[in-house]
């Protein structure tokens, strides 16, 4: 530990440094003000409508995604009907369909039901009461959700959804601020992660996860929400998004 003399020396050194820096800072500030005064383009440092414009852009993008989802759902229904019709008249198509059907469930393309576990993460209930605390400590982060998801997979989860959206092998958990971006949709906390599988092993995997332990500690200290609930019957929807890979391609094809 640093003694009193060391602290005094550090303070004195800091004061000497500030005495040298003050003239430089003042000169730089003067130059900036002069440039700003002469430039007709520099009026305000922050555009008042920037926040509103960003919010409007987000809402517009969400509506576009919802419209696209409805279009995709309609097209998928048409493709399914055409595929069934083709299979009834063509033995080769029927044989290919027979090979595909068993793969749809493990790929997350069919709705499933079964016993499992639901983990709910939420932001701090009363952030205003925690004055002086870094706001980043009061919200659920991407790493927190990822820790829960990884622990549940490691614990034997057979199917999973977040905020009612099915999670598959290519799903990515991304957060912007305290909102979740998943399958083209935006979700706000609380975030409910539902997983079908063995309750005991999944719960043990949650307890063993370092990331989950950190979030539970933060939940106790800052008042964030963390609950684990055993369910005798969970119903998870089928994944409806695109399944093709955009960049990855098999070698030799």
Domain ranges of the chain: 7-46, 58-104, 112-236
**pLDDT for residue 154:** 97
pLDDT for residue 49 is more than 70: no
For 112-236, give the CATH class.
alpha beta
**pLDDT for residue 2:** 38
**pLDDT for residue 213:** 96
Highest mean pLDDT among 12-26, 216-230, 235-249: 216-230
| Residue 219, CA distances (Å) to 142, 154, 193, 224, 243 in order | 15, 23, 17, 4, 36
Question: DSSP string spanning 229-246?
Answer: EEEEEEEEPPP-S--S-S
High-pLDDT (> 90) share of the chain, %:
36
Query: In this predicted model, what pLDDT tens digit does every residue of 172-207 receive, in sequence order?
Result: 888 877 788 887 788 899 999 999 999 999 999 999
Residues β-bridged to residue 230: 117
Mean pLDDT over residues 11-22, rounded? 44
Q: What is the Cα–Cα distance from 63 to 6, expressed in whole angstroms?
A: 61
**pLDDT for residue 55:** 66
CA 32 centroid distance within chain: 40
Tell me the pairing of strands 159-162 and 165-167: antiparallel
pTM equals 0.66
Long-range contact set of residues 41-44: C-beta below 8 Å, sequence gap at least 24 = none
Tokens 């989802």 belong to 69
pLDDT for residue 168 is more than 50: yes
**pLDDT for residue 5:** 38
Q: Are 197 and 116 in contact (CB under 8 A)?
A: yes
Among 127-136, 159-168, 170-179, which stretch is predicted with the lowest mean pLDDT? 127-136
pLDDT band at 41 (very low <50, low <70, confident <90, very high): very low
More confident residue, 131 or 214: 214
């Amino acid at each position: 530990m640093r003694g009193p003399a060391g602290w005094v020396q550090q303070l004195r050194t800091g004061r000497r440094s500030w005495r040298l820096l003050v003239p430089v800072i003042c000169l730089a500030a003067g130059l900036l003000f002069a440039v700003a005064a002469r430039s007709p383009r520099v009026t305000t440092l922050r555009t008042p409508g920037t926040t509103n414009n960003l919010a409007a852009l987000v809402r517009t993008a969400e509506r576009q995604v919802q419209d696209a989802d409805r279009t995709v759902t309609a097209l998928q229904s048409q493709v399914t009907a055409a595929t069934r019709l083709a299979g009834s008249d063509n033995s080769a198509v029927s044989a290919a369909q027979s090979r595909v059907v068993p793969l749809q469930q493990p790929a997350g393309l069919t709705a499933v039901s079964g016993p499992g576990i639901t983990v709910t993460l939420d932001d701090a209930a009363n952030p205003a009461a925690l004055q002086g605390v870094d706001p980043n400590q009061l919200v659920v982060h991407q790493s927190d959700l990822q820790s829960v998801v990884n622990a549940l997979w490691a614990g034997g989860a057979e199917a999973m959804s977040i905020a009612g959206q099915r999670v598959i092998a290519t799903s990515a958990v991304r957060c912007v601020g305290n909102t979740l971006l998943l399958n083209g949709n935006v979700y706000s906390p609380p975030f409910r992660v539902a997983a079908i599988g063995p309750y005991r092993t999944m719960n043990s995997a949650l307890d063993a996860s370092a990331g989950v332990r950190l979030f539970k500690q933060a939940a106790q200290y800052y008042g964030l929400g963390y609950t684990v609930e055993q369910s005798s019957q969970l119903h998870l929807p089928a994944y409806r998004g695109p399944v093709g890979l955009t960049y990855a391609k098999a070698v030799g094809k």
